[in-house]
Chains A and B, each alone.
Chain A
């Protein structure tokens, strides 16, 4: 860990050298590991930004609302189950008590070559140095959205709920406030895996808006992992359905644990639209979702597990009373 200065942010936008400190559960870990070396921390915990509010437009979430609070909110559980579940199934209770939504969506990959600077090769940490995971220990790494430079998986859960439901993110920066589709926040690694988001330097996430929609109530998050709790996803699916009887009017699907970014499975959604939802159509949609998957050794099982996870999630969502 390197020396750094610490201030409480007063609400003004930061400059390019400022790193925001929210719950600290990603940032402080990575500072101790010498992976992140910020010079100036600005603590945003005094800024408020903790709203959790439902109205006719949808669900409004402040960037500093804690994971535990949103996961435990009865209204969110009822009207946006996928949001509550994606948070409840993440990390541990202690972490959820500390961690903020804004920090959550910006958590960094768990790729072991990234998290330990004594590994020489990591294009994300040290551009141009190569990728240790490509032919190495990569059981947990991605099969969708990868590039020749990086296969690091996006590890979070909540972001899948946000992309599935077409959420917007609100940002505050030097040029004032702006909003954008949450799906445009994360970028695939391509040739520049060190660039993970479209945030501008010093920009602050202030909140998220999840639009209301007929699918929001019939939604869920299914997370498949090595143990029952407190583990990152091997594969996960955020699913929301608008059904007309057995027929899918609209399906919203995002996949976790398998991709470099929160992954919207648009092909699967298109495949299901207008179809009777059953084992066969769910399987076809799952195949479409993973058609472009590329595996690298230890993660060869992920496309199949991802397909099964999605089928299971779709059939579970169909059975929900919404």
Chain B
């Protein structure tokens, strides 16, 4: 029986994962390896004035203590990824005595054993000349810059301020979302080894070709001499997309010591040597006519970033394009503070910005005395309002209707505080989810062997999403084979390049190119070719330039699709329905059930799609109720940098989670009609939760996470 798109199948790598057969970067054993331990800065701003390293160097087994004193100049300056470079932070840690943020790497200790490296690192004393840091929004000394000054396009149309002033019904409110850290279970491990001038890196990566070229530039070597191996990734969520600066340091240490070096940073160090989700503050104004039609939408955002890097969250690009609204004004500001550079974290723009928009929509529904589902239905549109681009397909209304039906929405009594179960106040909330559908230039090699087995090779990444299985199903579809006959090889920079595992593009990008290769194989077979047939294929999606192939070979992504770029707007949609219970005395918020209905194009691999969306909904609950990196405003340090105090939901927090997948055929987005689903599930869930809390309690949570103390008034 041939398999193909839509086959319900377990993960083809599932057995390896649960039996320990899957080797993650942290598992890889390299002969004669030396162990590294990081020392990170205790201050957030200032200079290093000296080291007392005699005690550290005296620990038996210590090979070297690397600091800026002996590493300066070793790592070349490279561009920020948003300016066409590879690195997620341009702060080069061991380049000078300057400290840019708390937790910056200030030394790398290498020893024969992990224990010796750790002990020596703990015995190293660093002296600083400390300056008062600016930790975030309210600190003196931050620098506020319009994102438009750094190339961001603030979307707008019409005259939103006049329309707002003139409108019959309006709401206006400020919202905030916290700093959050990805905390993938696998730590930010790197093992670097050199042989004959060639570097091999074992490191979990969402973009092996980017890492290959970026590290080559940093170390001033030929990219052809770099091999990145990353077949399995213990969670990524955006944290492993662009390059962190630790990799070059480990590689350089290995080069100097003439010995492989392995670094396994601590959980706490992961908070400061990689990226995070920037905290935001937002202001939303919505105005509508009495029948609920939006007349004006104003959305402004402020986002924290580091001193040197202009990382933009910029979710207004999405929130301005969802509803039919003739007058829109948006504006994004970056707030430069003494912090490490933030970066992509699952649904980077949409998760924080949709929280504000979808909370405001709920506030507007109450102001209109209208059902919040109905308000979203009324303002549905098949064209985004900014440039008037048609959506390639859009079935938000179908999601709202199917979701409402399955959830039993008609049984909701609309007034706040009107539903109750014993000592618990009950609330039901709804919110829209959206995620832009991206597709990138990609390449793949597919080989059909004479015995009817096939192999797919592409440097795409399975960050835990099920990409191995989805890509296998594409080959099964293309060649008419059972999935069991197909071997998929991913996550290795020696394979043909594929884009970063980001923006939920992998399934669309890779399946399209794999199908192309399979069609060529079938054609050759039809022409009578015998033996093994190996086809290498490239796919440049409509709207992307032909040279994007060349760029991909240099480790630079070309992603198309989405809401802004082309002749049409492409996005997947969903509607989230969520129930909360809030204890009437002690105010714990619990979530007995959540339901998401999604229309996301062709579902390639239904079991993994469900798993992604289920995980997204759970993430959304955590993003609303639990996840927050606490910052000491005096020191600009992260205070709960461990998994005991940085809370994510545990099993007991997650009860009923239901995913509905609507049929959607999109003939416009890309030849296969695939939209990404990896990030869709967590968008809007935080707003659905906050809206449910308002319904339960009459208190409107506008600052995440929603905590007991916010509900005690």
Nearest-Cβ distance from residue B67 to partner chain A, whole angstroms: 16
Our pick among A1, A135, A225, A227 for the contact of B119 (Cβ within 8 Å) is: A1
Given A1-B119, A137-B630, A137-B639, the answer on whether A118 and B709 have CB atoms closer than 8 Å is no
Residues of A within 8 A of B40 (CB): 118
Is there a chain A Cβ closer than 8 Å to B626's Cβ? yes
Comparing B77-85, B250-258, B646-654, the segment that makes contact with chain A is B646-654
Contact with A along B622-635 (1 / 0, CB 8 A): 00011000111011
Residues of B within 8 A of A112 (CB): 639-640, 645
Is there a chain A Cβ closer than 8 Å to B586's Cβ? yes
Residues of B within 8 A of A64 (CB): none
A117 to B122, CA, bound (A): 9
A224 to B709, CA, bound (A): 12
In the bound complex, do residue A1 and residue B626 qualify as a contact, i.e. CB atoms below 8 Å apart?
no
Interface residues of B in 53-110 (CB under 8 A from A): none
A311 to B583, CA, bound (A): 13
In the bound complex, do residue B634 and residue A135 qualify as a contact, i.e. CB atoms below 8 Å apart?
yes
Nearest-Cβ distance from residue A124 to partner chain B, whole angstroms: 16
Is there a chain A Cβ closer than 8 Å to B590's Cβ? yes
In the bound complex, do residue A120 and residue B122 qualify as a contact, i.e. CB atoms below 8 Å apart?
no
Is there a chain B Cβ closer than 8 Å to A139's Cβ? yes
Main secondary structure, interface of A, reads loop
Interface residues of B in 641-692 (CB under 8 A from A): 644-645, 647, 649-653
Contact with B along A105-123 (1 / 0, CB 8 A): 0000010100011111000
A117 to B126, CA, bound (A): 13
**Number of CB contacts from chain A to chain B under 8 A:** 85
Our pick among B115, B585, B632 for the contact of A312 (Cβ within 8 Å) is: B585
A139 to B651, CA, bound (A): 24
Is there a chain B Cβ closer than 8 Å to A136's Cβ? yes
In the bound complex, do residue A227 and residue B626 qualify as a contact, i.e. CB atoms below 8 Å apart?
yes
Comparing A10-18, A69-77, A203-211, A301-309, the segment that makes contact with chain B is A301-309
Given A116-B268, A301-B709, A308-B585, the answer on whether A226 and B42 have CB atoms closer than 8 Å is no
Is there a chain B Cβ closer than 8 Å to A3's Cβ? yes
Give the size category of A's interface with B. Answer: 35 or more
A315 to B637, CA, bound (A): 42
Residues of A within 8 A of B299 (CB): none
Is there a chain B Cβ closer than 8 Å to A229's Cβ? yes
Closest to A231 in B: B647
Contact with B along A290-322 (1 / 0, CB 8 A): 000000000011001100110110000000000
A308 to B652, CA, bound (A): 23
In the bound complex, do residue A301 and residue B632 qualify as a contact, i.e. CB atoms below 8 Å apart?
no
In the bound complex, do residue B708 and residue A228 qualify as a contact, i.e. CB atoms below 8 Å apart?
no
A120 to B43, CA, bound (A): 10
In the bound complex, do residue B122 and residue A34 qualify as a contact, i.e. CB atoms below 8 Å apart?
yes
Given A136-B634, A226-B707, A301-B709, the answer on whether A120 and B586 have CB atoms closer than 8 Å is no
A226 to B704, CA, bound (A): 13
Report, nearest first, the 10 A-B pairs whose CB atoms are least far apart.
Answer: A301-B709, A228-B652, A229-B652, A137-B639, A118-B42, A112-B639, A34-B122, A228-B653, A224-B586, A308-B585
Nearest-Cβ distance from residue B129 to partner chain A, whole angstroms: 14
Residues of A within 8 A of B640 (CB): 112, 137
Given A136-B634, A227-B652, 19 other A-B residues pairs in contact with their CB atoms under 8 A: A1-B122, A3-B119, A110-B644, A112-B640, A118-B42, A119-B635, A135-B634, A137-B630, A137-B639, A137-B640, A226-B647, A228-B653, A229-B651, A231-B647, A232-B644, A301-B709, A308-B587, A312-B583, A312-B586
